[in-house]
Amino acid sequence: MTATGDEFHVVFGAGQVGSALVARLASTGRRVRAVSLHSPSDLADGIDWRGADATNIDDATDAAKGASVIYQCLNAPYTQWPRRFPPLQRGVLAAAEHAGAVLVSFENVYAYGPTDGTPMTEDLPLAATTVMGRTRAAMTRDLLDANQAGRARIVIGRASDFFGAGATESTLGARVFANAVAGKRADFLGNPDLLHTYSYVPDIAAGLATLGTDERAIGQIWHLPGPETVTTRFILDLISRELGHPVGVRSLPKPLMRALTLVSPMMRALTAMAYQFEEPFILDTTKYTAIFGAAGTPLATAVTDTLISYRAGADPR
């Protein structure tokens, strides 16, 4: 990469991960721009923001003009992923090609599909069995094809289900933390007694920033490190000890889940991905740590900091 003072980093997406990444990059003295459809309310003072619809290639290209590194942290409504997400990535990829920038794309692990509890490594085949998983796999192949063809320099960073301040809509979001703070049972789909890797938003941002500022990352897929992998039940016990009262679990019976899929698009989408919580779900991050060093926030610290944000009113339920 060029000298820090000459770098221009452009982050597409100003949600939980995008905003955290912008702040992380800015804290290192790099010139940063956030690009999103709507103006974010939580960007730090002095951060440049540009409004753009990434599906419009001309707008995306203009917003990223002059960038040395571009980060794709966009998302689409959960129930509309297959239709709305690929056009967003195409716009960002076109912007990277035009700027000659490295493109760091943030991904989840849907493309792997069920693994029967085998820890996920970066060389696993993309064997998704769901509509959303196959959509993600196709998007990944588009990026790798662009890298192989020399059209763009691509880096892919993957994380599992994430949590942290502001990550209210995730599996380990408001339905767990806000409910617990309010003295309610946590809503959870699946078996809480299985090992499950959860990624912490500040760790995701730190990992993506590393991938975007180290030449060794280019052309490869990386699993981003985070807190240690434990069972969801263990996390609930940590929350209970922090709050000083028990946190129970309220799970939807499978027959009710199946019935709800007939009337709820969101429930259909969640049920399709439920395999992630019906078998051990472990993200292996040894490739990243072997190259870039040990990283990740201790789980107890991450849980405490997340609870502080909910107690401060991140979700007032």
What are the boundaries of each domain within the chain? 4-161+201-225+282-293
Judge contact between 91 and 55, C-beta under 8 A: yes
Q: Which two tokens stand for residue 114?
A: 């069920």
Tokens standing for residue 176 = 């767990």
Gap between the Cα atoms of 203 and 297, Å rounded: 7
Grade residue 316 by pLDDT with cuts at 50, 70 and 90: very low
Q: Please report, as a single letter, which amino acid is at residue 209.
A: A
Q: pLDDT at position 40, please? A: 86
246 pLDDT more than 60? yes
Q: Which pLDDT score is estimated for 263?
A: 58
Q: What is the pLDDT of residues 95-121, one digit of tens each?
A: 999 999 999 999 999 999 999 999 999
Report the predicted TM-score, pTM, of the whole model to 2 decimal places.
0.94
**Residue 130 contacts residue 272 (beta carbons within 8 Å):** yes
d(C-alpha 111, C-alpha 209), whole Å: 23
Q: 67 and 9 in contact (C-beta within 8 Å)? A: yes
Q: Longest C-alpha distance within the chain, in Å?
A: 58
* Chain mean pLDDT for the chain: 91
The two beta strands, 230-231 and 195-196, are antiparallel
pLDDT of amino acid 277 = 87
The whole-number pLDDT of residue 291 equals 98
Percentage of the chain with pLDDT > 70? 91
Residue 317 scores a pLDDT above 60:
no
Residue with tokens 């991960």: 17
Looking at domain 4-161+201-225+282-293, its CATH superfamily turns out to be: NAD(P)-binding Rossmann-like Domain (3.40.50.720)
